[in-house]
Amino acid sequence: MSRRETARTALIALFVTALVTAQLTAAKVLAIPLPASLPVVGATATLPGAALAYALTYFASDCYAELYGRRPAQVMVNVGFVMNFVLLALVWSTILAPAAPASVDPGQFATVLGASTNIVLGSLVAYVVSQNWDVLVFHALRDRTDGAHLWLRNIGSTATSQAIDTVLFVGVGFYVAPRLLGVGFALSGTALLALAVGQYLLKLLIAVVDTPFVYGVVRFVRSDPDDPTSGSWTTE
């Protein structure tokens, strides 16, 4: 098996693993201390636990888009969206199934794994819009630069898509759904802004830090001497 084929499988596996982990860790709210107090955020950045794993999905999708093209990357993203519903169905079927006497406490199990409806709605809307935007911007920048400056399309596509993701997730999950549908709790404007800014700062930092790793993956795959497509640029 060539590096290209192995990398395709590995990147899809990483994307799905990070996506599933993000769904399962969304219930925990993180408080990341900052080296200095910032406007709006303060001295601590507040964000859902899913932010760490979810950032990896952009790393995987950018590597995949660079190596295999726009259309395959969009297929991966949209299949991942459907798999979110499979995950939710499996988790909730387990939560609703009768528990044995020796089982962990069903209430605690449901609290940890059963994300509230407003969080699910926010994450699904944010996912399908931001991930498809990421792929589109990545290839638009690639076309504009004739395939040069991988760092620009990696950071540019991720920075804009993460901004969209943050606004939609926080807006739908903590304002629109509670106000219009009566599910979850609505945050104040100040709390919404602090939550959104804290999330975005961490996501943007990860986008910058992961750029050398994107270069490393792409160069490793394209340097395979046994692959006849090695070194070729995908323009799909």
Report d(CA 9, CA 60) in Å as an integer: 11
Beta-carbon contacts of residue 40 (< 8 Å; ≥ 6 apart): 193, 194, 197
Q: For position 234, what pLDDT does the model report?
A: 44
Q: For position 55, what pLDDT does the model report?
A: 87
Q: For position 226, what pLDDT does the model report?
A: 72
What pLDDT, in 10s, does the model give residues 50-83?
Answer: 888 888 999 999 999 999 999 999 999 999 999 8
What pLDDT, in 10s, does the model give residues 103-152?
Answer: 999 988 887 777 667 778 888 899 999 999 999 999 999 999 998 999 99
| Per-residue pLDDT at 224 exceeds 60 | yes
Considering the entire predicted model, what is its pTM?
0.84
Mean pLDDT (whole number) for 162-172: 92
- The amino acid present at 74, given as its one-letter code, is Q
